[in-house]
A and B are shown apart, each in its own frame.
Chain A
Amino acid sequence: MGLATFKGGVHPYEGKELSENKPVQVLMPKGEMVYPMSQHIGAPATPLVAKGDKVLAGQKIGEASGFISANVICSVSGTVKAIEPRQVASGGVINSVVVENDGMYETVAGLGEDRDPAGLSRQEIRDIMKEAGIVGLGGAGFPTHVKLTPKDENAIEYILVNGAECEPYLTSDYRMMLEEPEKIVGGLKVILQLFDNAKGVIGIEDNKPEAIARLTELVKDEPGIEVCPLKTKYPQGGERSLIHAITGRKLNSAMLPADVGCIVDNVDTVIAIYMAVCKTTPLMRRIVTVTGDAIASPQNYNVKIGTSFQELVEAAGGFKDEPEKLIAGGPMMGMALFSLDIPVTKTCSALTCFMKDEVAEEEPSACIRCGRCVEACPSNIIPEKMMRAALKGDCDAFEKLDGMECMECGGCAFVCPARRQLTQAFKDMRKTVMENRRKKA
């Protein structure tokens, strides 16, 4: 029997050898820290502090302002310098709390205390997650306490921990699976405490045999938890691909994982849950891979949220030579940056720096209808036809072709021999369609 996987997908150069053997180092930031009030899907948080206020590490500085929203926690001690709009990785400008780091790292009282989750009620656990500002750290940034509050708790049969890390170059989840697997299992147990009928499955791509071995060993006496090796293929860690690979269940863009009895959380998110519930430590840090051929010494860092990318680059020995492209995230789904004066946010898993921008080297040419995009598409739609609709700006045709099922994984644009900017066009179209729907509603 073959390994669990999904249909379609691509095999980009993995690039993980640059940083996979580098243990996670804790990075202590120096300069100012920037905390955007929107590092998650949903309503931006409301600042709780004012200019001149003293703040401590672990202090809530942004309050969730709606059902789907998340708190923002300060990761250093110091003084609030300003509350002003700042640039974030997406290119947008978001209202942010700027803190001058005093370098003392004074924490709020009680931070880091052990807490036994067994004595907590389900509501208490969810409240702790909410208080701690935990969101999906894999990239989507969906508030975790909302995700873990489905309509019907009893319908949830699987809690899937996403350790696929299919995005090229990224090794942060891998390092955490090797270095702190107990926290992953601990966090997963906390989640399982919320659902009577669920079992936990940790999905890991088979290009990480050591991580598979470590976690398999660790859960061998845990009846409700297993490890599922997955075929190494991009986008194996996409939510729909992962659910299908592990459970055989399928969901489309209009459905939530909970509709098929699943909840998916990224490795680092599960660790954050463990830290919040069992160690009374809110979400103040994340693991970031700093990598790419332009980085002198690629590394994995335990970074305080709010640290600027500039500091990450300096910590990793700076650039070998002037880079041509900087990406927040990995090369398949990451966002290109035009500056390093941008803070690490909750959803930022990597900073990938390339000497050469492959995309700029070749101009798009005519589609030869080779069908590689069709073979690559994990959503089983026809990028070639969607592109025709996109070029005409024809939203109706795009929707008829199930263009809204596109998960923007980038597989089609990656394989296109004519270098057509398929994914890019689909992102635009999807945005337009969604705007039109909102206008109608």
Chain B
Amino acid sequence: MSKLLNVSSSPHVRSEVNTQSIMLDVIIAMLPATAYGVYQFGLHALLVIVATVVACAVSEYLFEKAVKKPCTVRDLSAVVTGLILALNMPAGIPIWIPMLGGVFAIVVVKQLYGGLGQNFMNPALAARCFLLISFTGQMSSFTLDGVSQATPLAQMKSGEAVDLAAVFIGKIPGTIGEVSVIALLIGAAYLLVKKIISIRIPAVYLLTVAVFVYIFGDHSLYQVAAHLCGGGLIFGAFFMATDYVTSPITPWGQIVFGILLGALTGLFRMFGGSAEGVSYAIIMCNLLVPLIEKFTLPKAFGKEGK
């Protein structure tokens, strides 16, 4: 034999799933919601999406180039961040705002803490909250069919009724990606079937919100349904709370995480000043992840009684 043999420690085979394929699946799962958003809000929504994704990918490339780190744009994680951030934008936003958010997400939240896997907050959500505080007006002006309108959650906050069927399909004002529950659930089902996410966090999160709203609201299932489907809860529960890097890795930790998310979201929505609370709940719980993991480490096989 002329070629030298490769020698390494076992195992000598690897599964087909890699980081890039996972990120690609997450992108695929967001396509139904993306398509619906563009269909409903028009071409400007598409422009916002493309601009945000490009801003994220380019800032990742440039940052890594500048600090001479290996380029990781190909793992597609920056594209996922860009897409999530864009889907969290009102359709009519001037595009420089989400682009600025994209740069903030990648450079400040992700790369400055060490890049993929090291950030302690979901970059897209941290950027969204940064934009919400900085550009409150533009970030919370929602239109539908060219008319400025209140979101279902805001309507409920001021005591108005909402049309549940419209909320489920998505014929409501809101951010580009959060409006259509049905489109989001199709994507969520794809993630579950491909085993990209586990059902633990979203199920516990949604259940906790339902219980919270039922107890602290006016004990009506209609209100519960409106809270589950209105606003960014479905999007947040399946696509953002399940972000690997910023959610607990321990099975019990994921359940605790879901309960905390649900309680905080309910608290913000029912008792807070603003109608929405998903983003803040998620980034706050992101900060609790190390603590949650510390207290939910499983017992090793055969050491359960000890």
Contact = CB atoms under 8 A, between A and B. Distances in A.
Contact of B6 (A253, A336, A352): A336
* Main SS class of interface, B: loop
Interface stretch (A67-75, A196-204, A343-351, A358-366): A358-366
A251 B22 contact: no
B295 interface: no
Contacts of A378: 301
Given A368-B19, A369-B245, A374-B250, A252 B301 contact: yes
Contacts of B249: 369, 371, 374, 382, 384-385
B304 interface: yes
Interface string A292-328: 0000000000000000000000000000001111110
Interface in B7-65: 7-15, 17-19, 21-22
Contact of A12 (B6, B15, B251, B302): B15
A402 B303 contact: yes
A419 interface: yes
A366 B12 contact: no
B12 A357 contact: yes
A405 B306 CA distance: 14
B68 interface: no
A326 B11 contact: no
Interface in B193-248: 198, 244-245, 247
Given A322-B2, A357-B6, A240 B301 contact: yes
A381 B300 CA distance: 5
Contact of A418 (B6, B19, B299): B19
A372 B14 CA distance: 13
Contacts of B118: 366
The contact size tier of chain B is: 35 or more
Nearest to A423: B11
A255 interface: yes
A415 B15 contact: yes
A251 B302 contact: yes
Most chain A beta carbons < 10 A, residue from B10, B75, B77, B251: B10
Given A251-B302, A366-B116, A326 B13 contact: no
Contacts of A337: 5, 7
Contacts of B300: 252, 379-381, 402, 405
Contacts of B245: 368-369
A334 interface: yes
Contacts of B3: 322, 324
A417 B198 CA distance: 16
Contacts, number: 170
B72 interface: yes
Nearest to A373: B249
Given A380-B299, A402-B300, A405-B301, A424 B8 contact: yes
A381 B302 CA distance: 11
Which has the most chain A C-beta neighbours within 10 Å: B12, B15, B19, B299? Answer: B12
B94 interface: no
B298 interface: yes
B272 interface: no
B18 A362 contact: yes
Given A322-B3, A371-B244, A417-B21, A424 B304 contact: no
A331 B10 contact: yes
Interface string A1-30: 000000100101100000000000000000
B161 interface: no
Interface in A187-241: 240
A382 B297 contact: yes
13 contacts: A12-B13, A252-B302, A322-B2, A325-B12, A327-B10, A331-B10, A332-B11, A352-B12, A378-B301, A401-B297, A402-B303, A413-B11, A417-B22
